[in-house]
Amino acid sequence: MPELPEVEVSRMGITPHVVGQTVTQIIIRNSRLRWPIPEDIQQIEGQVIRSIRRRAKYLLLQTDAGYAIIHLGMSGSLRILPASIPAEKHDHVDLVLSSGEVLRYNDPRRFGAWLWELPERQHPVLSKLGPEPLSDGFTAEYLLERAHGKRTAIKQLIMDNQVVVGVGNIYANESLFSAGIDPKRAAGNISSQRIAILVAEIKAVLAFAIEQGGTTLKDFKNADGKPGYFAQELQVYGKGGEPCPRCDKLLSNIKIGQRATVYCSHCQK
């Protein structure tokens, strides 16, 4: 599943091609995504795209009439292509632009979404999201407060979008390893000093992943069709049973909240 860095890389990739362009047509070939594409989204036709923002894993295409909300789901991708290129099997939505290009949405599994909301209104899918991990709102003090008294495993806490958005499974594994924290440890039993280290590592890991172009996953390619490169830098994710890059002890592979969790029982306490 594309995680926050991949979505941010997509945003950066499509922005120069889309912002300032008029949407001359929206073509919906299959409206049956995670949620049905609402008919109101037709209001985007004739509108100038003023900006593209990211909130968690959602991309928000702002126009004067409202904003389209795009989620890539498990296998979705956005590409900028000449309008003359024929659509393929899983190309479900096109935004035809005044430049002669299209913003094309491809999603084989159809777990993504295209939604619509009016200006100055917050769509329900955005209403309960926690702070952005790379923002000033995500601090050690904030996470310590949210962890206070919690028996929840720290990995589950930082993957909770109501606590902090966008720390998906890959980056939770990597951040906890970098911080030296056992992913099974109860969130409320971690000291303020170690929480501060964890917050710093979450920010560093995500920022580096964005810089590297997002992690290459089976179904992900960024807006120019090139895969991301962060997968080459992964320390533990997907490497259960291999030697720890720090101590050479074999990495453990368990499930926490039904998600694959790889960690070093020697280095992470």
Active-site amino acid positions:
2-3, 57, 259
* Residue 151, annotated as binding a ligand: no
Q: Is 90 assigned to a binding site?
A: yes
3-state secondary structure the chain: CCCHHHHHHHHHHHHHHHCCCEEEEEEECCCECCCECCHHHHHHCCCECCEEEEECCEEEEECCCCEEEEECCCCCEEEEEECCCCCCCCEEEEEEECCCEEEEEECCCCCCEEEEECCCCCCHHHCCCCCCCCCCCCCHHHHHHHHCCCCCEHHHHHCCCCCCCCCCHHHHHHHHHHHCCCCCCEHHHCCHHHHHHHHHHHHHHHHHHHHCCCCCCCCCCCCCCCCCCHHHHCCCCCCCCCECCCCCCECEEEEECCEEEEECCCCCC
Q: How far apart are CA 6 and CA 217, in angstroms?
A: 9
Count of alpha carbons within 13 Å of 91, Cβ hemisphere only?
17
12: nearest Cα among 47, 59, 71 = 59
269 is in an annotated binding site: no
* Residue numbering of the annotated binding site: 90, 109, 150
* Residue numbering of the annotated binding site for DNA: 90, 109, 150
